[in-house]
A and B are shown apart, each in its own frame.
Chain A
């Protein structure tokens, strides 16, 4: 089992969600996060004073998937979140030892 973590632009969240649902993904966890990558931050000017805003708002999605589904899901996210501009985000995959469904106690792939 794998954990797919994706950082995307907040306004692309709906597109990504719809694409994932259409691809058969049954669960997503979403967190509002702030951060910077190569895009860096930006400056805002209030009353003539410039403020450097280093951390930009992004959305983090976490999806548990069975190993054979991972590549397909990653492709779906990448396609839906892509605008071609800097700041589109990142996707990474990590190994998951096990998964437990709280309600039934099922473990492994059947708990996804």
Chain B
């Protein structure tokens, strides 16, 4: 790796790390005041456990060797043979990808908010990392879905669709919260979290070029535009539909746009990011209402924003992918004369990820439910998880 590329990958890795605290604030502000610390901790826990597991065996199973179809092996156990001898590019890449491994299970925390036992979460994250994140990541990056020709620039399928559908499976086992949903306890926290997410997402998407080049610059620009367009779209829909342009709507739209552009960031150009953002903003603004129609309690809309947004972006690649612009080795989308082949591969890749993630996540949750239990007591739920799970209080009055 050239020194300029190495510098960009290292900076990007730090940017992606910052997304997890950003996500924690985004979710934490939306949550109840009595559960905000639990929400922050579910996210921070991913920052503690995942890096260690990633270095021990996660990276090896997810990427070594690159061309294994379904799962890697233990050749890079404890990063054996990955050294800084030479240019450091391999090590920087391990770190960069490790940040993705951190935030993917963290995304699920928003769905299980307000009632999941922290001990169950503490076991869920490492098990889910190895049984769901690692194999799906492998299939998408170097494995069989990659070989078939599907593309996923920074993790629409491998991260957002994967975590989004896992969130649905998790809440189906966990069950609904006992008390009625409540409005966000701190929208300023939500807005700060959104800002941090957007900032960090430049590393997520533009860093995924793994080089400081034109593709990185285009991915950067796409990240900028899609988020803005989606925020605008969500705001306009709810202004017309519900009567007010809300801060939560703007924040939700921005995140939906960031999710949707993630798989496409290095493959589309021109007006495509704006179109992808607008579509994601409108679709996700309606998708967050599906939970009430279908009766699953996805507390903070992980399904409506991450699953649906990721799917929208991943499928729109089938229309907008433009390899000649990037001088890239991937198929053209329908709008660039590629016919439906790429779209079909995008569908296959997402169906594969959805089926695996949903089934395995469901089974993990069932096993946890039958063994240690996944829910806090009814009393803990009404008193708040900050106190029952962590022995802390976020907001002391009179201090």
Binding site for B on A (CB under 8 A): 44-49, 51, 53
B249 at the interface (CB under 8 A from A): yes
Cross-chain pair count, CB within 8 angstroms = 32
Q: Are B241 and A48 in contact (CB under 8 A)?
A: yes
Contact with A along B255-294 (1 / 0, CB 8 A): 0000000000000000000000000000001101100100
Binding site for A on B (CB under 8 A): 181-184, 238, 241-244, 246, 248-249, 252, 285-286, 288-289, 292, 301, 304
22 contacts between A and B (CB under 8 A): A45-B238, A45-B242, A45-B243, A45-B244, A46-B183, A46-B184, A46-B246, A47-B248, A47-B252, A47-B285, A47-B288, A47-B301, A47-B304, A48-B238, A48-B242, A48-B285, A48-B286, A48-B288, A48-B289, A49-B181, A49-B289, A53-B183
Residues from chain A with Cβ under 8 Å of B286 in the complex: 48
Residues from chain A with Cβ under 8 Å of B246 in the complex: 45-46
Residues from chain B with Cβ under 8 Å of A44 in the complex: 183
Chain B nearest CB from A109 CB (Å) reads 30
Give the complex CA separation of A53 and B180 in angstroms.
Answer: 13
Give the complex CA separation of A1 and B244 in angstroms.
Answer: 49
Top 6 A-B residue pairs of the complex, sorted by shortest distance between their CB atoms: A45-B242, A51-B183, A47-B288, A48-B289, A46-B248, A46-B183
Residues from chain A with Cβ under 8 Å of B181 in the complex: 49, 51
**A47 partner, pick from B243, B244, B249, beta carbons under 8 A:** B249
Residues from chain A with Cβ under 8 Å of B249 in the complex: 47
Give the complex CA separation of A47 and B252 in angstroms.
Answer: 8
Chain B nearest CB from A33 CB (Å) reads 13
Chain B nearest CB from A57 CB (Å) reads 14
Give the complex CA separation of A46 and B184 in angstroms.
Answer: 8
Residues from chain B with Cβ under 8 Å of A45 in the complex: 238, 242-244, 246
In the complex, which residue of chain B has the Cβ closest to the Cβ of A45?
B242
In the complex, which residue of chain B has the Cβ closest to the Cβ of A44?
B183
Residues from chain A with Cβ under 8 Å of B285 in the complex: 47-48
In the complex, which residue of chain A has the Cβ closest to the Cβ of B288?
A47
Q: Which of A45, A46, A47, A49 neighbours the largest number of chain B CB atoms within 10 Å of its CB?
A: A47
Chain B nearest CB from A84 CB (Å) reads 25
Residues from chain B with Cβ under 8 Å of A48 in the complex: 238, 241-242, 285-286, 288-289
A sample of 11 more A-B contacts (CB under 8 A), given A44-B183, A47-B285, is: A45-B246, A46-B183, A46-B184, A46-B248, A47-B249, A47-B289, A47-B304, A48-B238, A48-B241, A49-B181, A49-B289
In the complex, which residue of chain B has the Cβ closest to the Cβ of A51?
B183
Give the complex CA separation of A47 and B304 in angstroms.
Answer: 10
Residues from chain B with Cβ under 8 Å of A46 in the complex: 183-184, 246, 248
In the complex, which residue of chain A has the Cβ closest to the Cβ of B182?
A51
Give the complex CA separation of A46 and B248 in angstroms.
Answer: 7
In the complex, which residue of chain A has the Cβ closest to the Cβ of B183?
A51
Chain B nearest CB from A52 CB (Å) reads 10
Give the complex CA separation of A46 and B181 in angstroms.
Answer: 11
Give the complex CA separation of A10 and B244 in angstroms.
Answer: 23
Chain A nearest CB from B286 CB (Å) reads 8
Chain A nearest CB from B101 CB (Å) reads 29
Give the complex CA separation of A53 and B182 in angstroms.
Answer: 10
In the complex, which residue of chain B has the Cβ closest to the Cβ of A53?
B183
Give the complex CA separation of A51 and B289 in angstroms.
Answer: 14
Chain A nearest CB from B295 CB (Å) reads 14
**B292 partner, pick from A49, A51, A53, beta carbons under 8 A:** A49
Residues from chain B with Cβ under 8 Å of A47 in the complex: 248-249, 252, 285, 288-289, 301, 304
In the complex, which residue of chain A has the Cβ closest to the Cβ of B241?
A48
Give the complex CA separation of A48 and B238 in angstroms.
Answer: 7
Give the complex CA separation of A71 and B190 in angstroms.
Answer: 47
Give the complex CA separation of A47 and B235 in angstroms.
Answer: 10
Give the complex CA separation of A45 and B238 in angstroms.
Answer: 9
Chain B nearest CB from A11 CB (Å) reads 19
Q: Which of A48, A51, A53 neighbours the largest number of chain B CB atoms within 10 Å of its CB?
A: A48
In the complex, which residue of chain B has the Cβ closest to the Cβ of A48?
B289
Give the complex CA separation of A53 and B292 in angstroms.
Answer: 20
Chain A nearest CB from B239 CB (Å) reads 11
Give the complex CA separation of A42 and B238 in angstroms.
Answer: 18
Residues from chain B with Cβ under 8 Å of A53 in the complex: 183
Residues from chain A with Cβ under 8 Å of B244 in the complex: 45
Residues from chain A with Cβ under 8 Å of B248 in the complex: 46-47
Chain B nearest CB from A30 CB (Å) reads 14
In the complex, which residue of chain A has the Cβ closest to the Cβ of B180?
A51
Residues from chain A with Cβ under 8 Å of B288 in the complex: 47-48
Give the complex CA separation of A81 and B281 in angstroms.
Answer: 44
